[in-house]
Structure 1
Amino acid sequence: MLTDLFSLFFPRICACCQQTLARSERILCVTCKHQMPVTNMHQQNENMIKKVFSGRLPIENSFALLYFSKKGNVQKILHQLKYKGREEISDYLGKWTCFYLKQQKWITEIDAIIPVPLHRKKRKKRGYNQVDGFGKSIAQTFNIPYLTQHLVKKTPSRTQVFKNRLGRAELNKATFYLKNIRDLQGKHILLVDDIITTGTTIENCGKILKTAKNSKLSVASMALTV
């Protein structure tokens, strides 16, 4: 009865179509979930993420759950996650990702999971890093340490609209730094993010993580731009 009363005043709605969810549904209604553009990268020998970083960053393995397109359903749910306070979407996408990662042998070789960090001012304003639920779900499922204190964003993001890829890379390179580098020496690190577009942020975070001696890098994200 209390659940019904709570639902009356705080209805559970689909993060995509905004319709009321059935009791058995979580975050997305059945219709919207089936319409999500799943990448099926777990079935591919060579996926699009590796192509994005070819010649830019050595990556051992990579995975993205969904394909992102402007004004598409994935943009809708990521907007809810980042700007509407629906932090639970991150955990939901993480658990969904784990369903596919369980079919990948390489996930058992990961020693640590590290999220792309937010600057402290943005984190304080938003209240959370939108990647944390995603990364923690993977970490808990596969019993892997989740490290949030090693990769740090030292300067807030600035507009990159008028910069070319090289300019964006130099800007982002100066944005991050690594603490306690010895902890990561010889480790296989899984770097997680919400969306891969140009790949500039992942590239620069990855290069910094690779400064740890004998480290390896893999990448997982909620979405990949097509």
Structure 2
Amino acid sequence: MSILSDLLHDAAALLFPPVCPACGRPLVPGERSVCTCCRLTAPLTGYWDRPDNPVWQKFGGLVPVVQASAFLFYVRGSGWRRLIHGFKYRGAWHSARDMGGWYGRYLSESGLYASVDAVVPLPLHPFKRMLRGYNQAEYIAEGIAAQLGVGVDRSSVCRCRNTASQALRPRRERAENVAGAFAVRHPERLAGKHILLVDDVMTTGSTLVACIEAVLGAVPDCRVSVAALAVSRRELGVKE
């Protein structure tokens, strides 16, 4: 299925030359997914090199995580927001995988994630996945896993309750909305392992916390790290 999708994507690229989803300019030969100019000016966090960074601190008082980082700052109204919405809502899953690969190179080079045994994408509920056609976190996870040299575990953790979108709920209700939404189907696969839990955008962190609590509740000797593609400065209390 992936091979067929890649062939269709390549054929479409011949008919409709690709443009950079962040700025809208045509991509030149050698550029993939995002143009060189946008790569050079991307709002990168640099957190993958810092063990005690604001993302890690966000989880520190809630659930135990080994490492935690985010790749980009989520800037409202920017081209990066359009890029993320493209693979989140408009089927541009190739961008998600390419962004995951870009992020994964930094994670690999940092050395802080060298002990990761498997990459686990934050799961979607089956009904939501059916409506969307895919889980964008899986494609981000594929890109990251390829750079770390480990596999992607898509089945050990599941979303057992279909929750309302977190983006539509007040901050104070988000933790309650996702409480009990996740379960572990194959705890034996995670026993004694260090997993990297991957999501696209982290805001309050409530969804990731709920998933981590489910994992550690079912597999106490599992170690969990977190990698979010984008994070809100405001939620971290980080200034521009």
Same fold (TM over 0.5): yes
- Shift in CA distance, 24/215, structure 1 to aligned 2, threshold 3 Å: same
Q: Tell me which residue corresponds to 1:141.
A: 147
**Structure 1 residue 82 corresponds to structure 2 residue 88:** yes
CA separation in 1, counterparts of 2:165 and 2:105? 36
- 2:212 pairs, out of 196, 206, 217, with 206
Q: In 2, Cα distance between the equivalents of 1:207 and 1:221?
A: 17
1:123 maps onto 2:129 in alignment:
yes
- Residue by residue, what CA displacement relative to the aligned partner does 1:15-55 show, whole Å, maximum 9, x if unpaired? 11222111121111222222210111133342111121131
1:105 aligns with 2:142: no
Deviations along 1:111-169, whole A, 9 cap, x unmatched? 2211101111221222211111211122222232311111111222315545443x322
Name 1:216's counterpart in structure 2: 223
The equivalences for 1:49-198 within 5 A come to 49-160=55-166, 161-165=168-172, 167-198=173-204
Distance 1:162 1:29, change over 3 A: closer
Over the matched positions of the two proteins, sequence identity in percent amounts to 30
CA contact (8 A) 1:191 1:219 kept: yes
Counterpart of 1:81, as a letter, is: F
| Contact 1:115–1:193 (8 Å) recurs in 2 | yes
Partners of 2:211 and 2:150 lie apart in 1 by 20
**Superposed CA offset, 1:176-198 (max 9, x none):** 11111122111111100001100
Aligned residue pairs, count:
222
CA contact (8 A) 1:59 1:217 kept: yes
| CA spacing shift, 1:121–1:41, aligned 2, 3 Å | same
Letter in 2 for 1:134: I
CA separation of 1:162/1:98 partners in 2, compared to 1, >3 Å: closer, same or farther?
closer
Question: What letter is aligned with 1:215?
Answer: C
Larger helix share, 1 or 2: 2
* Partner SS, residue 210 of structure 1: helix
The 1:7–1:205 alpha-carbon spacing in structure 2 relative to 1, beyond 3 Å, is: closer
Residues 154 and 6 of structure 1, relative CA distance in 2, 3 Å threshold: closer
Contact 1:63 1:221 in 2 (8 A): yes
Q: TM-score, normalised by structure 1?
A: 0.90
| Residue pair 2:51, 2:112 contacting (<8 A) in 1 also | no
Q: Which runs of 5+ in 2 are unaligned?
A: 1-10, 234-240
Three-state SS of the structure 2 residue aligned to 1:218 is strand
What is the letter of the counterpart of residue 120 of structure 1? P
Distance 1:199 1:124 in 2: 24
Task: Report the residue type matching 1:11 in the other structure.
Answer: P
The match for 1:32 is 38
Q: Distance in 2 between matches of 1:51 and 1:124?
A: 35
Aligned Cα RMSD in Å? 2.0
Contact conserved, 1:188 with 1:216, CA < 8 A, in 2? Answer: yes
The aligned runs of 1:16-27 (5 Å cut-off) are 16-27=22-33
Q: Is the 8 A contact 1:42 1:103 kept in 2?
A: no
1:76 alignment partner AA: R
Q: After the TM superposition, which parts of structure 1 deviate over 6 Å for at least 4 consecutive aligned residues? A: none
Contact 2:195/2:225 (<8 A) preserved: yes
